[in-house]
Amino acid sequence: MMNKNMLKQAQQMQARLAAVQEEIAVARTEASAGGGVVKVSVIGGQSVESITIDPEVVDPEDVEMLQDLILAAINEAMETANKLASDKMSSITGGMNIPGLM
């Protein structure tokens, strides 16, 4: 049986989790590849916001290299977003693995 103090703590944790989930949803992470010739911005770890490609790297004879750079930048941005989300959630849950969260 939960006492009032435990219930209050649970409600506070729920409010903090909701706030952190909102922060995560709008967090922007960026990454680059090829020394910065390809840059990617991701929002919330869910969607690519933008891709910037330096015209110098566009070589019609080597499209595969450009594709690899884009893929590398996207993967790095997503990985960074996932780490940020995990770190933010861990700061609230104290590292506890709570089913249904992340």
Round to whole Å and give the CA distance between 26 and 14. 19
Token pair 């969260």: residue:
101
Complete domains list, the chain, with CATH: 4-93 (3.30.1310.10)
Q: What is the mean pLDDT of residues 90-97?
A: 72
Tell me the average pLDDT of the chain. 88
50 contacts 81 by C-beta, under 8 angstroms:
no
Residue 92: predicted pLDDT: 80
pLDDT at residue 33, as a whole number: 96
Task: Check residues 32 and 99 and name the one with the higher pLDDT.
Answer: 32
Which of the four pLDDT bands, split at 50, 70 and 90, describes residue 9?
Answer: confident
